[in-house]
Chain A
Amino acid sequence: EPEVTQTPSHQVTQMGQEVILRCVPISNHLYFYWYRQILGQKVEFLVSFYNNEISEKSEIFDDQFSVERPDGSNFTLKIRSTKLEDSAMYFCASSTSGSSYEQYFGPGTRLTVT
């Protein structure tokens, strides 16, 4: 069964450093998403991406964040200058279509900012 994959599973970085989180969505899916979950809190939407551009973003997704589809399979989330409060699980998800269609989540990357 096809699935979303993410690397690395755990990333430790120092405050102020740049990190790139990588995702390979399900191959026939066209819509890609990033969510985050701070420990003990709910899953929060960050951004959606379709046809090589951002289709929607949340208030969390400020200028420190960017997304890219550098090739036909990868989808990345970059945090330019990490802060302590960026420590969270970051989940990539994908869906065949946008709007109301089912989103399938990857295993997540645990980001720890020290």
Chain B
Amino acid sequence: QKEVEQNSGPLSVPEGAIASLNCTYSDRGSQSFFWYRQYSGKSPELIMFIYSNGDKEDGRFTAQLNKASQYVSLLIRDSQPSDSATYLCAVSRTGTYKYIFGTGTRLKVLA
């Protein structure tokens, strides 16, 4: 079983729609969850982090965490073509320094 799983996509949504990206993780000791955006050939850019169950909103982005289901998601409202990128889910266990990354979901926002 992979430690952090994401659907590789591509996930195609029309401009202005809500994009929903999902991530599951296997380690129940995971405590911190991060979403990074990675454009092709570029480095990961942190866009959201969440530590507690529930929703966390920042502008057009909402991260949702359900530790019981070992599930974290990212919603992007009013999607723009510039949001087209690969979205990486990263998970960290308290007491360790490393992030475990998923393989990423490629999002395509169609103009």
Please list the residues of chain A having a beta carbon within 8 angstroms of any beta carbon in chain B.
31, 33, 35, 41-45, 48, 50, 55-56, 58, 89, 91, 98-108
**A-side contacts of B32, CB under 8 Å:** 99-101
**B-side contacts of A91, CB under 8 Å:** 43-44
Complex CA–CA separation, A73 to B7 (angstroms): 39
Q: Does B92 contact A (CB under 8 A)?
A: yes
Please name 7 pairs of A and B residues whose Cβ atoms are closer than 8 Å in the assembled complex, sorted by A: A42-B101, A42-B102, A43-B88, A44-B101, A45-B98, A89-B43, A101-B32
Whether the pair B97, A33 counts as a contact (CB closer than 8 A) is: yes
Number of interface residues of B (CB under 8 A): 25
**A-side contacts of B78, CB under 8 Å:** none
Q: With A100-B31, A100-B32 known to touch, is A45 a contact of B44 (CB < 8 Å)?
A: no
Complex CA–CA separation, A111 to B58 (angstroms): 35
Shortest 4 CB-CB contacts between residues of A and residues of B: A100-B32, A48-B97, A45-B98, A43-B101
Segment at the A interface, from B9-17, B45-53, B63-71: B45-53
Task: Tell me which residues from 86 to 102 in chain B have a Cβ below 8 Å from any Cβ of chain A.
Answer: 88, 90, 92, 94-102
**B-side contacts of A107, CB under 8 Å:** 42-43
Q: A42-B88, A98-B97, A100-B92 are in contact. List 16 more A-B contacts (CB 8 A).
A: A33-B98, A41-B103, A42-B104, A43-B44, A48-B97, A48-B98, A56-B96, A99-B92, A99-B94, A99-B95, A100-B94, A103-B34, A103-B46, A104-B46, A106-B43, A108-B43
**A-side contacts of B95, CB under 8 Å:** 99
**B-side contacts of A55, CB under 8 Å:** 97
Within the complex, the shortest CB–CB distance from A30 to chain B, in Å, comes to: 11
Within the complex, the shortest CB–CB distance from B110 to chain A, in Å, comes to: 24
Whether the pair B99, A105 counts as a contact (CB closer than 8 A) is: no
**B-side contacts of A89, CB under 8 Å:** 43
Most interface-central of B32, B42, B49, B97 (chain A CB within 10 A): B97
